[in-house]
A and B are shown apart, each in its own frame.
Chain A
């Protein structure tokens, strides 16, 4: 699992009881036990899904981006058919029948949201962060995206076309961010380290950390 800083936080809707878990935790476990007993699901099938989920990480998406940055022909293939490009790198693009990579350029910046629920390319990025699933982002990303980007520390020039993509169906969208300047000597692996999860959602841009600049 990717590491997150926060463990304890006051999320208003997690009402804790005496234990550290909400009441829902026991309920979910009981539900699984019940469904396994009834033969509705197999315990091993659930375990396999757990293994799959915990192995998902944004480093998969980052590999697609880094390869696209160094290999223009791969970039074209990535844009034409993102699922196929993922398979080329032995990556799992997930169950969605179509994944689309959206290329950021000097003139165009993409940002992805799911206003209706939480659709997200989790096979390639891992589970979505809470803010992506919560109501404020879902409300504001479509109607005031530039203000949202500013909150995330991204300033776009007025003449850059900001395209917000609302994932309402089975298509999953992944942003292909721009390669930062000053990275000409970096290896593909080093480049992949620069690609953050947030940059593949479209709320961040990859930067070269000061210590790395030559």
Chain B
């Protein structure tokens, strides 16, 4: 999977450092209210599926100085994920 590289003005929970990066879904959570609308007085529906996505640290930080196997795990909403080959 790839995290969408799009810009989003306004409240959203996809960290900037993650945008455009490639990772793997490791856990399928249930669905939750969409914070992007819920933060502005809307009801947050429809709920959006949430996934725990895992990234090799070297995919995210070009100069990562830690272990080669080190990974970063982040909860990402489905509408921020794009399938890749």
The reply to whether A and B meet directly (CB within 8 Å) is yes
* Pairwise interchain contact B15-A171, C-beta atoms closer than 8 A: no
Contact across chains for B71 and A166 when beta carbons are under 8 A apart = no
The docked-state distance in angstroms from the alpha carbon of A145 to that of B55 is 14
Known A-B contacts A142-B17, A145-B66, A168-B13; A163 and B77 likewise in contact (beta carbons under 8 Å): no
> Is A164 in contact with chain B by the CB < 8 A criterion?
yes
User: In the complex, which residues of chain B have a beta carbon less than 8 angstroms from the beta carbon of A115?
Assistant: 15, 17
- Closest B residue, CB atoms, query A161: B69
Please tell me if B29 contacts chain A, counting CB pairs below 8 Å: yes
Interface residue B61 (Cβ < 8 Å from any Cβ of A): yes
The answer to whether B69 and A168 touch across the interface, beta carbons within 8 angstroms, is no
Set B65, B73, B75: member contacting A164, Cβ < 8 A: B73
List, in ascending order, chain B residues with CB within 8 A of A71's CB: none
Contacts A115-B15, A166-B73; A98 near B67 (Cβ below 8 A): no
Contact with A along B10-50 (1 / 0, CB 8 A): 00011101000000000001101001000000000000001
Contact status of A158 and B67, CB under 8 A, knowing A116-B13, A142-B17, A168-B15: yes
Q: Given known contacts A115-B15, A166-B15, is B70 in contact with A171 (CB within 8 Å)? A: no
A145 contacts B70, CB within 8 Å?
Answer: yes
- Kindly state the separation between the CA atoms of A147 and B57 in the bound complex, as whole angstroms: 14
CB of A33 closer than 8 Å to a CB of B:
no
Complex Cα spacing A147 to B54, Å: 21
Size class of A's contact patch? 20 to 34
The verdict on B74 contacting chain A, using a C-beta distance below 8 Å, is yes
B81 at the interface (CB under 8 A from A): no
- Closest chain-B Cβ to A6's Cβ sits at a distance in Å of 31
Assess whether A162 is in contact with B29, with CB atoms less than 8 Å apart.
no
CB atoms of B72 and A146 under 8 A apart: no
Closest to B69 in A: A161
Nearest CB to that of A112 among chain B residues? B73
| Pairs A-B, 3 closest by C-beta atoms | A169-B75, A161-B69, A146-B66
B contact residues around A207 at 8 Å (CB): none
Q: How distant is the Cα of A85 from the Cα of B76 in the complex, in angstroms?
A: 25
B14 nearest CB across to chain A (Å): 7
With a cutoff of 8 Å between Cβ atoms, the chain B residues found around residue A163 in the complex are 54, 70-73
- Contact among B60, B65, B70 for A161, CB-based, below 8 A: B70
CA distance A54 to B9 in the complex (A): 37
